[in-house]
């Protein structure tokens, strides 16, 4: 698994800007304390003017992050169909996730039709997350199977493997469970770790 410095920066910036940025916004806007999706939308609505500026920036972060993982997957090209499947799932996963967040933001702007929008958002978010977890899980497992990358990168891939397995299970069982945070945290840690290691190895 040989990634260049640009790919390393993509993983690092994408993870911090996309996933880390969402964690920060959720904390500042009070989304973590919301007990229902409706309360979550209300909290977002209270900060709508700022949210409509920050949400597109989060999207850009996720685009950069997905580019970074696409680059990692390309280094595992010898695994054929499974790598192709992982790379394929990342793209619609990103698109569906973006559509879901657009609906999420629209629900915050228009309380009149908020319940149908929440249902649509939850469905899109679930599908996108499942695709992302499967794709990144495949990449991590294939990297470990090939013994690709440095020992430290393999540790991060192992963390990502565990996190994505938890995510896949939660998507199928109870997506609203707090355990889903394990998956996103593992994705953040693995992306930052592999990214920094790639930057250092190519300096």
Q: How far is CA 152 from CA 3, 11, 166, 190, 202, in A?
A: 14, 16, 22, 10, 15
Pull the structure tokens for residue 117. Answer: 């929008």
- Over residues 154-188, the pLDDT tens digits come to 899 999 999 999 999 999 999 888 899 999 999 99
- Over residues 70-123, the pLDDT tens digits come to 989 888 866 678 888 999 999 999 999 989 888 878 877 765 467 778 888 889
188, containing H or E segment:
helix 180-201
In the predicted structure, residue 53 carries a pLDDT above the cut 90: no
- Over residues 121-155, the pLDDT tens digits come to 889 999 999 999 999 999 999 988 887 777 888 89
What pLDDT is stored for residue 79 in this prediction? Answer: 60
The answer to whether 75 and 139 are in contact (CB under 8 A) is no
What is the pLDDT averaged over residues 36-46?
80
Give the lowest-confidence range in 21-25, 30-34, 52-56, 160-164: 30-34
- Over residues 58-68, the pLDDT tens digits come to 889 999 999 99
What pLDDT is stored for residue 62 in this prediction? Answer: 92
What pLDDT is stored for residue 20 in this prediction? Answer: 93
Its pTM stands at: 0.88
């Amino acid at each position: 698994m040989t990634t260049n410095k640009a790919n390393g920066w993509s993983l690092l910036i994408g993870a911090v800007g996309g996933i880390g940025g969402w964690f920060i916004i959720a904390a500042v806007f009070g989304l973590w304390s919301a007990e229902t999706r409706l309360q979550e939308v209300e909290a977002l609505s209270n900060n709508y003017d700022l949210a409509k500026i920050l949400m597109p920036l989060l999207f850009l972060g996720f685009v950069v992050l997905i580019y970074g993982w696409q680059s990692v997957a390309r280094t595992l090209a010898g695994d054929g169909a499974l790598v192709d499947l992982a790379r394929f799932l990342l793209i619609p996963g990103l698109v569906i996730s973006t559509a879901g967040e657009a609906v999420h933001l629209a629900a915050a702007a228009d309380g009149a039709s908020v319940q149908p929008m929440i249902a649509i958002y939850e469905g899109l978010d679930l599908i996108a997350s499942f695709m992302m977890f499967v794709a990144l899980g495949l990449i991590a497992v294939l990297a470990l199977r090939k013994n690709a990358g440095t020992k430290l990168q393999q540790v991060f891939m192992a963390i990502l493997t565990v996190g994505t397995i938890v995510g896949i299970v939660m998507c199928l069982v109870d997506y609203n469970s707090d355990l889903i945070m394990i998956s996103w945290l593992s994705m953040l840690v693995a992306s930052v770790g592999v990214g920094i290691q790639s930057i250092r190895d190519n300096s």
